[in-house]
Structure 1
Amino acid sequence: MVLKPTVARYALTDRGQRPLLTEALPLAERVHRALVELSDGSAVFTGCDKLHRPLQGHRHAHILCESNPGSDSEGRGEITEISIYVPMGFGSGEQNALQRLKEIYDDHGGILDLLYLGSGSLADYCRTGGSPLFTRSKCWVSHTPFLPTRHPKATRAGVPKLDSNGRQIGSPEHDILRLLELAGFPEVVAIEPVSSRLLGGRAVPWQEFVRRRATDERRPAANGAGYGFRIEFAEAVQGPVAVGYGGHFGMGGFEGKSNTQIYEKYKNIQ
């Protein structure tokens, strides 16, 4: 039995100005719309079956934008690659749509050119080390802001409601741990907040990222604020790690890091 590819990757070409990683969410939305059209509404990209019922288990497309070290654009924090991750796999029709996607239009008529780099399995991209989103690691650091799906809970007197570990129920930390567990990840043995990420040579606060989908009437919880974390799992996990509101559009994403990398790159960010 031939396994379906689950990852496809694009590079952004030099024509025009590439958007910054802070614009990952609206760019992912445009890529999503294009792939839905090119695939004639494949469930792989829409996330719904023929009766328009949502698929279960988050098996459909995750669109992940990257600004990878070593690129010519690193100094400006531009998006350099886009990955499409589909746990259910790409069929022949979806692969055809991926190959036909060559450009994206913005709301002002601008064109962003995409170079299709090919598709493969998670193991392929983990082995080549081409993306920190697809590595295998125990330690992960926020790549894009985590957007909670629940509000912090408190009594009528305003006293926070705590879980058995002393975390406020519904707080960003409590919510991300809940969502990671629901997604099947192993136990998180360490977690600490990170207020920003290094991008274009400076610490960029999560609030500078676009954090709400233009086509979604729902609002993220916690007034749409973004949060970042360093997390360590009890055992190494295979990326990608992406949870929370907008998780299929690049939000709540993490980069896999070694302990040394985490210390050196993030030691001055709290």
Structure 2
Amino acid sequence: MLRLAIRFLAGSYHATPWGRHVNEGEIEWPPSPWRLCRALLATGFARLGWTAVPPEGRSLIERLAASPPVYHLPPASTGHTRHYMPVHKNATAKVLDAFAFIGRGDGAVLGVTWEVEPTAAERALFEALAEHLSYLGRAESWVAAEVTDVLPEDLAPCRASECAPGPGHERIALLGPLDALEYAAFRRERVGAQPEAEPEEPARRGAKAPKKTVASRETAKLDALYPADLLAALLKDTSELQRDGWSQPPGSRWLSYWRARDALAQAPVRATRAAHRRGSREDTALLALASDTARGEVLPLLVDGLLRMEVLHAALIRHSDRGDGRGPSPCLTGKDAQAEPLRGHGHAWLLPASLDRADHIDHVLVHAAMTLDERAREALSSVRKFYTKDMCTFITLVGVGTREDFEQAVPYVRAAKVWKSVLPFVPPRHLKRQGANSLEGQVQAELASRDLPRAERIEVELDGGDYCAASDFWELWSRRHPGEVRVEASGEGVPRPEERLATRWRHFRNVRLLKPEQRPPVATSLGLRLTFPEPVRGPIALGYASHFGLGTMAPAP
């Protein structure tokens, strides 16, 4: 056999699958057999001084093409950078450079095994090509390769097969070369047999050359379009393939490979595994959102957070259902295997956040007091995008861990005595002037249902940024709803006539779109400020649709 060990000197691998645009952010992992064969040929011309492929090089490549390799994958995670490229006349174009992060440790080795029996000359050439291989994929993907018999033990196998090896795997399509004999038969079928040339008569002086027939001209075009053999197909430049109109390189085929679902996780691999070693309860994840590249930097608005979180929640539930009869993850649905609601609020909250861009959702914090199970973590790492009517939003899993792990990046999980609304609070029950269904009573009940301490002061935001006590809310609210409540004579503690509830919260979506029948009892959006006797650790989300972001609060500055 021939076995190659590839190390990534910069810790990352950059390559785009065939047929995908670089700005789609897709990563070809592992490298396709087609890419490996072309890389070996390029190394021969660039580093070994070839002017033509030697005979042992031709036989080596044909031998590798006939046997799809087996990969041995190290742990890897996804990442990307964004930058602007200078182009003609000072215009710029944004480029999305997605990559697989492998690291530079002892276990950060990609193994590739071909089950072939090479000759001595072929093995010697293969070792020379591996020694001089300098990059794989895009130019910034620097590698060092060597022929070896031993690989690290913890690498995960990835094989070509038409059948899944078992649960926990996902299918990926990799481009590979055809067998040389298969390509020869394929070319004969497409081009056809060449017609035998008729014996030429001696040219007479002044006679015109015979005209070519239509059939002979078409045959000549086909003969030029299809490379002469497999090696010629592998040596074709991409620009030539595009010029000739090829959507897939001639001499190639799609192979079905099966890799572990977390082989290219979107979470930082080392941080996640360290959390497992510590035995910590993974209850929090952070997602980063990016816009559809065709629409520039358009991100969802925070005022539309309820709809975006509903759609994202539905996508997570779909991906957490493995089709094994167990259904989706209960920590995402809030229901058990019999579709009965779980008690309490232990299932996941999806809280939209503006960490980098004000008034736009650029991150989503996912927190479940009952911890995130395996199906939920798989869903968080596999959902890549979600669609709403006006845009497509791309998702990257930043990390999974405990809420304390995200304290520096996300204010929602910090500890504070004073908390303010980021998204409006919508009362979960009909409002009353006093008692358990008053505004203060409902807020205290919401805190108790989440195992949070009672607030010593509850205030409601007014226009201009000031706040009034929750006990004054009824009179302010009655001005907007004169037919619903009876306004009593004003007395001490009643707000002044010029005071009114903050109107900025009216622009926030406060009714679920995917389940409009679950409307809030009171369509009133309020900004709150809560003060606790001691610092309380978040996240805090209260009221109607709080699991979809409404009622989200952050520590006051």
Q: Tell me which residue corresponds to 2:406.
A: 125
In the alignment, the residues of structure 2 paired with residue 137 and residue 18 of structure 1 have an alpha-carbon distance, to the nearest angstrom, of 29
Partner of 2:431: 152
Cα distance in structure 2, aligned partners of 1:141 and 1:231? 7
Superposition deviation, residue 221 in structure 1: 2.1
**Where in structure 2 are the equivalents of 1:1-270 lying within 5 Å?**
2-14=279-291, 15=293, 16=295, 17-40=298-321, 41-68=328-355, 71=356, 73-74=357-358, 77-108=359-390, 110-126=391-407, 129-153=408-432, 160=433, 162-163=434-435, 169-195=436-462, 205-216=504-515, 217-222=517-522, 224-257=523-556, 261=557
Q: CA deviation at 1:10?
A: 1.1
Aligned pair in 2 of structure 1 residues 135, 176: CA closer, same or farther (>3 Å)? Answer: same
The Cα shift of 1:116 comes to: 1.2
Which TM-score applies when normalising by structure 2? 0.40
Partners of 1:98 and 1:58 lie apart in 2 by 20
Q: Which amino acid aligns with 1:24?
A: G
SS of residue matched to 1:206: helix
Shift of 1:64: 0.5
Q: CA shift at 1:196, angstroms?
A: 6.9
Runs of 4+ in 1 over 3 A off after TM superposition: 195-198
Deviation, 1:92, is 2.3
Equivalent residue pairs, number: 233
* Structure (1 or 2) with the larger CA radius of gyration: 2
Shift of 1:149: 1.3
Alpha-carbon distance in 1 for matches of 2:385, 2:503: 28
After TM superposition, give the deviation of residue 124 of structure 1 in Å: 1.1
> Are the counterparts in 2 of residues 152 and 170 from structure 1 also a CA contact under 8 Å?
yes
C-alpha separation between the residues in 1 aligned to 2:396 and 2:314?
Answer: 18
Decide which moves more: 19-28 or 91-100.
91-100
Looking at structure 2, the residues matched to 91 and 192 of structure 1 have their Cα atoms a distance apart, in angstroms, of: 37
* Contact 1:134-1:256 within 8 A present in 2 as well: no
Q: Which amino acid aligns with 1:86?
A: A
Aligned partners of 1:66 and 1:22: how far apart in 2?
11
Amino acid across the alignment from 2:450: A
Q: Distance in 2 between matches of 1:245 and 1:7?
A: 22
**In structure 2, what is the Cα distance between the partners aligned to 1:183 and 1:92?**
24
Q: CA RMSD in A?
A: 2.0
Distance in 1 separating the partners of 2:431 and 2:553: 23
AA of the residue aligned to 1:43: P
Question: 1:178 Cα shift?
Answer: 2.1
Q: CA deviation at 1:191?
A: 1.9
Q: Deviations over 1:79-110 (max 9, x none)?
A: 111111111112222211111111111135x3
Change (3 A) 1:196 1:99: farther
Q: CA deviation at 1:253?
A: 1.0
Q: Distance in 2 between matches of 1:38 and 1:236?
A: 37
Give unpaired runs (5+ residues) of structure 1. Answer: 154-159, 164-168, 262-270
Q: Which residue of 2 aligns with 1:267?
A: none
TM-score (norm 1): 0.81
Do 1:62 and 1:85's aligned partners in 2 also have CA atoms closer than 8 Å? yes
Q: Partner of 2:528: helix, strand, or coil?
A: strand
Q: Partner of 1:25: helix, strand, or coil?
A: helix
> 1 or 2 for the larger relative contact order (CA 8 Å, sep ≥6)?
1
Partner secondary structure for residue 79 of structure 1: coil
Q: Is contact 1:4–1:91 with CA below 8 Å preserved after alignment?
A: no
Contact 1:12 1:115 in 2 (8 A): yes
Q: 1:150 & 1:119 partners in 2: Cα distance?
A: 34
Question: In the aligned structure 1, how far is the partner of 2:319 from the partner of 2:462?
Answer: 38
Q: Distance in 2 between matches of 1:182 and 1:54?
A: 15
Contact 1:141-1:254 within 8 A present in 2 as well: yes
Structure 2, unpaired ranges of 5+: 1-277, 322-327, 466-501
Deviations 1:191-219 (A, max 9, x none): 21114799xxxx97111001011133122
Q: Output the CA distance in 1 between the equivalents of 2:287 and 2:462.
A: 29
Q: 1: CA distance between counterparts of 2:397 and 2:352? A: 14
Partner of 1:266: none
- Residues 19 and 196 from structure 1, CA distance in 2 versus in 1: closer, same or farther, beyond 3 angstroms? farther
Same amino acid, percent of matched pairs: 30
Q: Distance between the aligned counterparts of 2:413 and 2:427, measured in 1?
A: 23
Partner of 1:265: none
The equivalent of 1:156 in structure 2 is: none
